[in-house]
Amino acid sequence: GLLLAALLVSHMLLTKEGVTSMPICPSGSVNCQLSLEELFDRAVKLSHYIHYLSSEMFNEFDERYAQGRGFIAKAVNSCHTASLTTPEDKEQAQQIHHEDLLNLILGVLRSWNDPLVHLASEVQRIKEAPETILWKAVEIEEQNKRLLEGMEKIVGRVHSGEVENEIYTPWDGLPSLQLADEDSRLFAFYNLLHCLRRDSHKIDNYLKVLKCRLIHDNNC
């Protein structure tokens, strides 16, 4: 009994992706504030976790449903966030102003709020969907919300002046997830998961660049 408990605890500790609940403020302090470094650390951890989950989910879906259907060839479709002009290489990422980049990150996160909710609900309707995919969809949606909150905090700290228009792209892909034709429906899922993996990677990269730039002065 004791050995089993020890094994369970150690397994939980080992498989944790580093997303642990950290105390926000030292106990007892009234006006406590997290440092920017702390905020960025947490944001980077969250973004890495979300990217890891979405990457795994895509791989599982690909293995389970996409084999032999030729989805890869068609996966040149654009994502709904393509209208947002985000840096496409390192030069562009270095040149963009950090406030703009932060706003872009926020915009992408907001744009993914809606699709993630629907993804979590619609993926359950897939025939014989594995439990791991279902669980990951729910987890990603949750973590995305947390990252959004964190980013808004960071933006509130970093932002110097006026508030820009909110950046946001609506998502209209829900009907495609509910198509009657199974092939088309699965392709819609494949596309969505592919886009999710890509965008989560973007956000993760941008945040790391910003962290190195703002906190460590380009010397990570």
Partner 1 sequence: DLLQWPQISKCRSPEMETFSCFWTAGNLYNLTVPRILQLLYKKSNEEDWKECPDYITSGQNSCYFNASYTSVWTPYCVQLASKNEVYDKKCFSVDEIVLPDPPIHLNWTLLNTSQTGIHGDIQVRWDPPPTADVRKGWITLEYELQYKEVNETKWKELKPRLSTMVPLYSLKTARDYEIRIRSRQRTSEKFGEFSEILYVSFSQIGIGCDHCTEEVEFPWFLVVVFGVCGLAVTVISIMLSKQPRLKMLIFPPVPVPKIKGIDPDLLKKGKLDEVNSILACHDNYKTQLYIDDLWVEFIELDIEDPHEKNRASDTDRLLSEDHLKSHSSLGAKDDDSGRASCCEPDIPETDFSASDTCDATSDSDQFKKATEKEEDLLCLDRQDNDESLSSLANIDLQHQHRSTQSENSHLWAPFGESIESPHPSVRTQISNQNSLASTDFYAQVSDITPAGRVVLSPGQKSKLGRAQREGCTEQNFAMDNTYFCEADVKKCIAVTSHEENEPRVQEQGYNEDGYFTTESLTTTVANLGASTAAPPSSEMPVADYTSIHIVQSPQGLVLNATALPVPDKEFNVSCGYVSTDQLNKIMP
Nearest by Cα to 192 from 119, 83, 93: 119
Helices marked H in 62-181: 71-74, 90-95, 98-122, 131-158, 174-177
Give min distance, CB of 25 to partner 1, in A.
27
Is 121 a residue that touches partner 1 (CB under 8 A)? no
- Match 């895509």 to its residue by tokens: 58
Is 27 a residue that touches partner 1 (CB under 8 A)? no
Is 136 a residue that touches partner 1 (CB under 8 A)? no
x/- track of binding to partner 1 for residues 60-99 (CB under 8 A)? ------------xx-xx-x-------x-xxxx-xx-----
45, 51, 136, 185: residue in contact with partner 1 (rule CB under 8 A): 51
- Match 């580093």 to its residue by tokens: 18
Nearer to partner 1, 103 or 191 (CB): 191
Q: How far is residue 35's CA from residue 73's CA, in Å, rounded to a whole number?
A: 46
Contact 50, 141 (CB under 8 A): no
By the criterion CB under 8 A, which residues form the site for partner 1? 48, 51-52, 55, 72-73, 75-76, 78, 86, 88-91, 93-94, 198, 201-202, 204-205, 208-213, 218-220
